[in-house]
A and B are shown apart, each in its own frame.
Chain A
């Protein structure tokens, strides 16, 4: 056994599956990015933001004043002088302060959330709308999951920052400075002595916290690997059982699970050290207070010492130190995570659509549906040429079939007609208008595309058909469904047109889905229809049923059909045979068969399998 094999053996339990490791979830602080984030606060800079800050200031001040009143005033002045009247006034005064504090807190929580949630809403709306406008190229290179994560999770990780984060940051700074000032005013000597614990506390929050944070990141990475595997294992369960790999997978999982357990234990161990250290530093403060404070009390106020009340106030304030410092440390963490999230969000926002609408673009009103390619070249990326100087004309009302191997450029032609991409060279015209001069929505309203895999949105059948034209009435939807022959199966369903369907649901068969997409396309009433392998995954019996619906759909429209099956192709007015991005043959079925060229060869191979036997 070679050395390489040996190492492989050793880690065998972890080498069965491989999952994407999570990216680093924090980035160094970047002021420019922060500024860009803060712009989202602007709409609220005259209402929620100042209001929340005011409420925050009021409650912070009250929180700072009360310990003085209870400590210094109550004990040193009122109680030592045995003045019951003053005690009454003092108590009433504190109650009033607490009432104000109560109100300030009610409004602070309200306004802070109004601010934060509105900002999050705005960012999300901005990002989503932006992504809607991006072109196909953007979606080609990214998985649906990675886009979803940015719109949902990345934005959510800004939530804390915009709700409590910013206000708390201010509140904590005010509190800290306030405490320090008050302590120095009350007794500079004692204050100075106590301040020794501050650096210790800061050190703890940054250093120890960082270690803890790192180890939790490790846990998250392990966990996401475990979840990726669980998800895949569940989806592939039928395959696993078919190949009876249950035990082997369980062994792999056991390894992942153990790794997760170990990293978790490590993180827990580190986290558990945090509180004891904090409490120790607090205790240190208390010891200084007790020893030095008691000494100062004995000296008496007249000899530069302090009163008992001051001592008590100090005891209160020491307890108040920790919260703001701890929160500031957390804030820092949050900031780093927000940096990573916002960088990813801005990356999407900085994407520009490749297919741009011209400023002076005009809308199509009525068009006939004539399509012309004039020496069009196109490539998806630099290495691979998809179309090379294609020229073709499709007359209005004609049915045209595109034939060729996978990758020969059939779908590219369809994509260029809808202007999902712009040609690299040459131009695509409709009724003589260059597509680049036309408003995008007016162009696409004239075109319907039916794909092999119809996408069903979750909602009722009615809503799914209406997706073709949102302002269509219920009657119009029903008519469209009836027209393509979808009416029958819809009426047979429990709730008819109101039946809820969803993409992953198995309520609809492939044929039924296809009929829905025909109805959807019909409702849009396009001038041009593109069928991209629309009938490929349907069994023959169903296809017969669909044929008549299809004929009705194509009537009086320009139709471009991409298909493998001869039965769909042969009725076309014109057939273009493509190879490596070029048109190598064209004509109708009869002519091409007569010619015995590439087309003939292609369809012949469909029957050859019979003869091979």
Chain B
């Protein structure tokens, strides 16, 4: 209950839907139980007493009640559903807002698939419980209580005989639920495995075909396929074991009713009409009882779902804007003072004692092998993470002193793998500034060498990208990503390995574009290729989170260090090629 209490804000404001729905539920349950009583009256008062004139009244009352029941049924269901969908509507908005605010360190440890399943399956589980589960539990209790009441009113001994088998039914129901749910979980799990198997196979089809491993793959697939089938069958065997048994117990109650009830009627201790009414009432008890296990299980599942949702809603926001945060235009003076950064407590520091100072408009090159800490530096500037010790300053103010929007709008990011959204090229370029004018967008595209190929596409700037859109080459995507960064006219530009995935010629073009773009902006260039960062005002060579060498290109190529080594490999043939006289 504690869990649900924490989520109260999302559903309690709509309690009126729920309470009204309950009111209608009560009404409709009462009317349901009236049906067998009408049957009994028809038989006992009309038929046996030959009072046919009562029929119109009985029919009239019945019709009236049924109409009320119709309305009650409608409103009970509709309001109950409305309660659930309104609550999850608010909940989804809340979750989305929260997810937007969670910092990079949260996403480092979270898997998209896992968050997605919380946003879909768990939200749905929670809704189902609000809309249906809780009310259903009440309905079962109500229906059973009222039906039992009527039965005992008609005949106490008969009610006792009829109900004798109920405890057994309850036991079977709970046994069944205990066994069937783990079995269902196994089905889902094996389905997930089968899904992964197929997904991998298709994504890796090139590899499969190259190694002609089709038969091997079919074999592996049939293994998973069979596993799924077996799990499904096991569940249906549980079903076949318990479900007919429940039905049999219910039927047995009816037979007991017939035997003892018939005996009572023969001995004139019970009216025939009451006996007939009993036959309906029995199923009002047996039916809900068979469902009880399901509903209770629903409750525990909804609780688990709610807990998983709370985990998101209560996740710590590591990066919080302070109240005093300022909104002052950024010039682009970046300073690191003895910065150390650790991503997770047990890990080795990703950055150790990093210091540098870049005045506005200057550029810094970062080079080093994977994991050396290049990207970490840039992510501290945007305050995606916060340093353990040391200071990250922009214009001599700690980055945490700026409003997040002010800070990040001043920094243009281009990543190695450009992520573009399912929107038009225009909207992708204007992603950071949805109000950008047509001129700004085209200008950004021109400066990133993207304008020409965009104009060659059938729909030009309206070309759709993403799942529904055109396939672009890696170089084209990268140029759009660069245009997107330029479009916000940032004071600071971060190029994180932006050109490593494109071919030489494209890189050449992009490099030229970038050099133009970098003018007047503080730039951070992360690259593996010397050519990309050679012109930086200062180059930091990183290894294991430390700066092992720093200086200008001219200095570093003769410093007999790592930089020189890399340079020599990449340019070993340069002299030979360049010295050749032009033909």
Contacts and interface: CB of A to CB of B under 8 A. Distances in A.
Interface string B210-225: 1111111110011001
Contacts of B475: 406
Interface in A444-482: 444-445, 447-449, 451, 455, 457-458, 467-468, 470
A455 B432 contact: no
B233 A114 contact: yes
Given A237-B99, A257-B93, A600-B577, A470 B213 contact: yes
A258 B86 CA distance: 10
B43 to A, nearest CB: 6
B479 to A, nearest CB: 14
A334 to B, nearest CB: 18
Interface stretch (A33-41, A271-279, A323-331, A374-382): A271-279
B134 interface: no
Contact of B422 (A17, A443, A543): A17
Contact of A18 (B67, B382, B468): B468
Nearest to B43: A308
Given A148-B202, A245-B431, A248-B434, A110 B207 contact: no
Interface in A48-77: 70, 74-75
Contact of B198 (A151, A237, A602): A151
B100 A290 contact: no
Contact of A238 (B42, B104, B409): B104
Nearest to B71: A276
A94 B259 CA distance: 10
Nearest to A605: B508
Nearest to B194: A152
B221 A246 contact: no
B199 A19 contact: no
B120 A234 contact: no
Contacts of A182: none
Contact of A132 (B38, B120, B208): B208
Given A239-B431, A308-B272, A539-B370, A593 B262 contact: no
Interface stretch (B7-15, B238-246, B334-342): B238-246
A567 B205 CA distance: 30
Contact of A286 (B62, B233, B415): B62
B58 interface: yes
A524 B62 contact: no
A520 B214 CA distance: 16
B580 A593 contact: yes
B99 A234 contact: yes
Contacts of A117: 229, 232-233, 236
Nearest to B228: A121
A283 B63 contact: yes
Interface string A506-533: 0001110000000010001000000000
Q: Which residue of A133, A315, A503 has the most chain B CB atoms within 10 A of its CB atom? A: A315
A256 to B, nearest CB: 9
Nearest to A471: B216
A308 B62 contact: no
A315 B577 contact: no
B170 interface: no
B466 interface: yes
B247 A102 contact: yes
B570 A540 contact: yes
Interface stretch (A189-197, A200-208, A224-232): A224-232
Contacts of B560: none
Nearest to B512: A612
A244 B409 contact: yes
A24 interface: no
B255 interface: yes
Q: In the complex, which range does the number of interface residues on chain B fall in? A: 35 or more
B248 to A, nearest CB: 4
A489 to B, nearest CB: 12
Given A144-B202, A261-B85, A445-B212, A125 B221 contact: yes
Contacts of B228: 121
Nearest to B54: A294
Interface in B241-289: 241, 243-245, 247-248, 251-252, 254-255, 258-259, 262-263, 265-266, 272, 276, 279
Interface string B407-438: 01101010100010111100100011010000
Contacts of A144: 199, 202-203
A241 B408 contact: yes
A243 B419 contact: no
A136 B207 CA distance: 11
A526 B92 CA distance: 54
Contacts of A444: 209-212
A105 B244 contact: yes
B370 A613 contact: no
B531 interface: yes
B204 interface: yes
A98 interface: yes
A570 B573 contact: yes
Nearest to B67: A280
A124 interface: yes
A31 interface: no
A293 B39 CA distance: 11
A152 B69 CA distance: 43
A172 to B, nearest CB: 17
A17 B56 CA distance: 63
B404 interface: yes
B572 interface: yes
A457 B279 contact: no
B472 interface: no
Nearest to B100: A246
B59 interface: yes
Interface in B558-572: 562, 566, 569-572
B221 A607 contact: no
A580 interface: no
A301 interface: no
B408 A243 contact: yes
A406 B570 CA distance: 21
Contacts of B529: 540
A98 B252 contact: yes
A467 B432 contact: no
A17 B62 contact: no
Contacts of B100: 237, 240-241, 246-247, 249-250
A526 to B, nearest CB: 9
Given A79-B272, A271-B77, A467-B207, A610 B503 contact: no
Contacts of B577: 593, 600, 603-604, 607
Nearest to A253: B96
A94 B468 contact: no
Nearest to B197: A458
Interface stretch (B111-119, B153-161, B292-300, B452-460): B111-119
Interface string B523-550: 0000011010011000000000000000
A613 B534 contact: yes
A106 B213 contact: no
Contacts of A303: none
B236 A109 contact: yes
A231 B464 CA distance: 18
B371 interface: yes
Interface in A89-137: 90-91, 94-95, 98-99, 101-103, 105-110, 112-114, 117-118, 120-121, 124-125, 128-129, 131-133, 136
Interface in B74-99: 74-75, 77-78, 81-82, 85-86, 89, 92-93, 96-97, 99
A57 to B, nearest CB: 16
A573 B39 CA distance: 99
A583 B496 CA distance: 36
A297 interface: yes
Contacts of B239: 109, 113
B531 A511 contact: no
Given A441-B215, A605-B504, 8 more contacts: A163-B236, A230-B120, A240-B100, A294-B46, A308-B43, A406-B473, A467-B207, A467-B213
6 contacts: A101-B247, A120-B229, A268-B81, A290-B59, A467-B213, A603-B573
